[in-house]
Structure 1
Amino acid sequence: MNWLTNSVLPKIQKLVRPREVPENLWHKCSNCGHMIFHRDLDANLRVCQHCGHHMRLPVKKRLEMLFDGGEYQRIELPKTPADPLRFRDQKRYGDRMKDAQAKTGEQDAIIVAHGRMGGLNVVIAAFNFEFMGGSMGIAVGEGIVAAAELAVLQDAPLIVIPASGGARMQEGILSLMQMARTTVAVEKVKEKGLPYVVLLTDPTTGGVSASFAMLGDIQIAEPGSVIGFAGARVIESTIREKLPEGFQRAEYLLDHGMVDMVVPRKDLRATLVRVLDLLLNRKPAGEVLPLPEKADSPARDENVQP
């Protein structure tokens, strides 16, 4: 009996027991509702194969997609106060930070990296929406400033990829000050004559969109991205009017002149390389020829005073 119980029965149970299937093998498109196998979704850069809906892309996957060979170097960002205001709502801000750091493996909501894109040296500052909604606090402001300084030092274009809910309320006025700091940092890049390109992703809102995110020489957006300052419901309740369909979406902003291009994710890298190549080409497109002198113009008498 012991032999049957201890040896045979466990083997039979192992054969007939249903296998545990991981829950993350299939993803449901929030736009069309289709179920997509995770490998197919990753191979298509997290774009739905059925409706073209662009899902949010993890920040490291995005950097690998843009840099040549997926290779880049990150820079260490300056240390900032962990909880400058000793803020607490339902939970201590310091505890929220620790939870976000444990969840993402990052110190804050921004990554600054440099490498080559299409053979060109570039600096990219990319937001991590998984870290407290990509909210902008002191550390994020320091990251943008560091990225701008690195771009000037390397004489390289600066690309910023925001994905943020806005300023981080737990840091109060200190987070709002980053709007001015990042704007000044971006101006230093422009003063050097270097391209500053913003790739607007879903979502780009609040104080981020009200500062450096709307100052690019070229504004490129992913399809369907929510881009704006206040939320649509807040605007509707304030003005007491129904907003147009697609309001604050990338396509709406393109039609109204707020962005320059709406580019599908699979074409983003090639588009950025082409744009940077054009912006960095400081030579004239063709040979500059002097204007011919007019034959019928009267000869000037050197003795006549003007």
Structure 2
Amino acid sequence: MTEPKTRHLSAAELIAVVLDDGSFSSWDQPVVDPDPDEAYRLDLAKARQKSGSDESVLTGEGLIRGRRVAIVVSEFAFLAGSIGLSAADRIVDAIERATRDGLPVLAGPASGGTRMQEGTLAFLSMVKITAAVRAHREAGHPYLVYLRHPTTGGVMASWGSLGHVTVAEPGALLGFLGPRVYEALYGKKFPENVQVAENLFNQGLIDAVVPPEQLPEIVDRALTILTGTATTPVAVPATMQVRPVPTGAWASIQISRNPRRPDLRQLLAYGAHDVLPLNGTGEGENDPGLMLAMARFGQQSCIVLGHIRPRPSRDTTMGPGSLREARRGMRLAEELGLPLLTVIDTAGAALSKESEEGGMAGEIARSLHELIGLRSASVSVLLGQGAGGGALALLPADRTIAAQHSWLSPLPPEGASAIVHRTTEFAPAMSEAQGVNVASLFAKGIVDHIVDERPDAAEEGRAFCQRMAAAIEYELSTLASVPVDELLTRRVSKFRAMGRRT
């Protein structure tokens, strides 16, 4: 028995599902066709009759959960959603209008690419569409993409792949080269289950796969984070008065290694609001060692990136792809004008052939390069373990918060002992001698704010995460009013002064 064919929404139907009832207002002006030959003239006439639309895209504005949003949606029934010169001009005009009006854009492509009947000029129109998207993003306005079935060719290779957040329709065919073209060119079928939304998610190319009826919730959550940062002062939390306790470095290290200790996932679950997980680099990598998300702590929105603690059934040691994903988060923070929160909790970066060939050392260097010059406020959190370059790569920030039993070391203490003593037996002594615990880090000006554990975060996960969240909200709020150039000067001076002897 064959499965029933899935019906995909038209442009008008998608608009009706996504926007608040009755809120859509069209921006479309009558199209001016190029000088078509008779065959193309008939194609256009048939497309208009079949689709009920005058072109392959509809544009306008409406409300999503009461929030004003510009919308650009493909109509696939019009010549397979192909983009000719008139459609391209309509898209550019809509994006430029949204930029002038300061509106976020939701793009919903469903297209076979550029229009073959209009040749090279239609093909080159992807450049001006991309330029409009770039200007919109550079102005700091959100550009959100919902990839629909199917999206291929020049559309996928331009305005379909430039979202700050990109989600896709379940089962959607998504790719550069359409499978029918591939078969015609190469005389064989394209491999199955490659150009589908779910596989793109697994490869770190898109952020989520959601049906159309869930799209309003996703858009609303994203825009709440991206446009909802408060400027009112936040009360000073009690943790600002916390001072180091006389716990030895080795004792803290052992406490930090408790598998029941809360990690970034629990911190977001218990301490943040409107969390929107992102997925992968957007460039074909999805490293399980790092989590990237948008979130709010209290009324303070931010981009969050941090280590994920390994689970027994899955190796989540941080590989070089983690830092490429982290740099995606750094770019988002700068472009959207949001602060960056980095969360450090790692036993060390991956030590493997794959890690070396993936350029781990270079990725650490590039992460440091981006963070020290980040044109956005930044807060780093030492949540648990902080070993080696994997920890260092996320550390530089304007302010650093530390959990009471977190630590920071050039290597796990066992590794330091092996280097100095050729055995791991001296790990406890090495950790004390190196001053890796919070008391030493606070004394040296590396840590600015300590969140106490009562007496161990593993025994009070929710309460600990809520205290940490309050500390994060406070630090983000204190940085919100500081000009970026001043933050950069302070940040560089802070790290330049560490360890200097006068």
Q: TM-score w.r.t. structure 1 length? A: 0.72
Does residue 57 (structure 1) correspond to residue 244 (structure 2)? The answer is no
Post-superposition offset of 1:130: 0.9
Deviations 1:23-46 (A, max 9, x none): xxxxxxx9613xxxxxxxxxxxxx
Q: Secondary structure at the match of 2:160?
A: helix
Q: Counterpart in 2 of 1:83? A: 34
Give yes or no for contact 1:137–1:175 (8 Å, CA) kept in 2.
yes
> 1: distance between equivalents of 2:210 and 2:2?
19
Pick the aligned partner of 1:172 from 113, 116, 119: 119
| 1:244–1:99 distance in 2 versus 1, CA, 3 Å | closer
Pick the aligned partner of 2:142 from 178, 183, 195: 195
Give yes or no for contact 2:18–2:213 (8 Å, CA) kept in 1.
no
Give yes or no for contact 1:112–1:125 (8 Å, CA) kept in 2.
yes
> 2: distance between equivalents of 1:54 and 1:287?
49
> 1: distance between equivalents of 2:2 and 2:171?
10
Pick the aligned partner of 1:208 from 139, 152, 155: 155
Post-superposition offset of 1:237: 7.5
Post-superposition offset of 1:244: 4.8
> 1: distance between equivalents of 2:112 and 2:66?
33
Q: Counterpart in 2 of 1:44? A: none
Could you tell me which runs of 5 or more consecutive residues in structure 2 were left unpaired when the two chains were aligned.
Answer: 231-299, 302-472, 480-489, 491-496
Q: Which moved more, 1:280-289 or 1:66-75?
A: 280-289
Q: Secondary structure at the match of 1:123?
A: strand
* Amino acid in the other structure paired with 1:197: L
Q: Counterpart in 2 of 1:132? A: 79
Q: Secondary structure at the match of 1:287?
A: helix
Q: Counterpart in 1 of 2:132? A: 185
Q: TM-score w.r.t. structure 2 length? A: 0.45
| 1:105–1:234 distance in 2 versus 1, CA, 3 Å | closer
Pick the aligned partner of 2:19 from 46, 59, 67: 67
Post-superposition offset of 1:208: 0.6
| 1:243–1:168 distance in 2 versus 1, CA, 3 Å | closer
Pick the aligned partner of 1:150 from 84, 97, 111: 97
Post-superposition offset of 1:135: 0.6
Does residue 249 (structure 1) correspond to residue 249 (structure 2)? The answer is no
CA RMSD between the two structures: 2.9
Post-superposition offset of 1:265: 2.6
Q: Counterpart in 2 of 1:269? A: 216
> 2: distance between equivalents of 1:146 and 1:287?
41
Deviations 1:233-259 (A, max 9, x none): 554787898755411000010011111
Could you tell me which runs of 5 or more consecutive residues in structure 1 were left unpaired when the two chains were aligned.
Answer: 1-29, 34-52, 292-296, 298-305
Q: Counterpart in 1 of 2:107? A: 160
| 1:131–1:237 distance in 2 versus 1, CA, 3 Å | closer
* Number of residue pairs aligned between Structure 1 and Structure 2: 244
Q: Which moved more, 1:143-152 or 1:247-256?
A: 143-152
